[in-house]
Amino acid sequence: MPVYKVKVKWGKENYPNVELNTDELPILFKAQLFALTGVQPERQKVMIKGKIVTDDSWEEFPVKDGVQLLMMGAADEIPEAPKEKVAFMEDMNDNELSQALDLPAGLSNLGNTCYLNATVQCLKTVPEFRDVLSSYYGHLTLSEAEGAHNITVAIRDLLNVMDSQSTVAPMILIQVLHMIFPRFAEKSEHGGFQQQDANECWTELLRMLQQRLKSKSSPPDASYTGFIDQYFGGRFKVTLKNTECEDEPEATSSEDFLQLSCFISADVKYLQSGLRAALHEAITKNSSKLERDAVYNKTRQIARLPAYLSVQFVRFQFKERSATNAKILKDIKFSLSLDVFELCTKELQEKLLPIREKFKEIEDRKVAEAVQKGQNDLKGFNKNLPVKRHPYSFADDEGSNNSGFYELQAVLTHKGRSSNSGHYVGWIRRKPGEWFKCDDEDVTLVTEDDILKLSGGGDWHTAYVLLYGPRILETPEETTPEA
């Protein structure tokens, strides 16, 4: 990999040992200069021996160790352009049209970076995540040892910019990601970046954030110290039973998780059955009782539910002949609502029952009122009355789910035949009934029916990761049940 140490002069400032990788686009080097100087990449003019560096190639420039680069550009904010009144939508540019329709911001594809764009769009739908990120303090550094910090800062700054622009190029986040995880910077035989596995990216980002984001008022006896574990992390009760020795007692332990898996087999047609299948497996381990290896039944039950539950469809299997992660295209139905009560331990189920009963009371009242008024639609129940939104977490465990009920709020899909090829897209819910397809910089309004069509069965976009958020209990103010 051709990496050089170059000198950069910016006004009175000199940077004597800046790394420059000629395998990467110059725009990524400009993102690195932004971390050093605070000058936005689009405002930089970088020159080598009097020749201005373009954004797309180093081929025509004499890059070597010690070469002097001159950068011009001010770190001052660009003044806001005056707002113009546009009479017709067809006269608007992309930015004006996005603002008029109030579309979420899109993310530019910087060369097979759709896996990252889709992941960011999905995580951005968690309001508590946005809140804790906004209070994270710090700036980018060039130290590889500060990987978790740099990832956190890069995501924080990217989400902030997405609130004010219609399309954003995630250059700095890509640069940081490549620096920390070189495998994401692998090049294809044609010279561009290779496609990467979006769920692998999702997992690595959460692992980095896990190290830096502090929890929001966790109780003294909590087993977690960070926000990610608090709001995205669950816990299994694990039971091991020796199938070859009745006299050997069951062994129990606990495992933490940030994601549930949905196994796909010939018998699995629905998300729930795939989740159940993933919680039971046969393993081989040494038995101290038999003094040899034996087969054990390993059973997992959920002992703690996080507020935000992500589910991965295990759709890819490694094929040695082609050396690829081949995709299972089978149609696995999922719903906009999810109930995981049956996957929980008896102890947790008992804790979930009080809020579940309140949900049932509200649903029963909706049905009774609809019948009385001769209505078929229950959504209008008490719509003119003020409502109270009840906490979705247990009082002694902020960030948990106290009912077992979830609502779908984001879907990450894959189109193609292997995890390292094809195309990834994020589908996000902004409010009930309002969904958007975030296909890199192209963001469009879609329907709930469009979301349910992402269940697989062909070469169309297929759900790979689902993100469920807590279902919120709402009761009329005038008849609020006791908490």
d(CA 230, CA 39): 36
Give the contacts of 367 (CB within 8 A, at least 6 positions apart).
378
Per the CB < 8 A criterion, the answer to whether 411 and 451 are in contact is yes
Q: Is 340 exposed, middle or buried (0-12, 13-18, 19+ CB in 10 A)?
A: buried
Q: How far is CA 403 from the centre of its chain?
A: 23
Bridge partner residues of 388 (DSSP): 475
| 438 a catalytic residue | no
Side-chain half-sphere exposure of 196, counting CA atoms within 13 A: 28
Q: Is 307 left (phi over 0), alpha (psi -120 to 50) or beta?
A: alpha
- Which run of H or of E encompasses 408? strand 405-415
Q: Which of 178, 423, 438, 461 is catalytic?
A: 423
Q: Which of 114, 122, 262, 344 is catalytic?
A: 114
Give the contacts of 192 (CB within 8 A, at least 6 positions apart).
111, 112
Give the contacts of 179 (CB within 8 A, at least 6 positions apart).
144, 147, 150
d(CA 329, CA 464): 11
| 114 a catalytic residue | yes
Q: What is the DSSP string of 356-401?
A: HHHHHHHHHHHHHHHHHHT-S--TTTTTTS-EEEPPSSBTTBTTB-
Catalytic residues: 114, 423
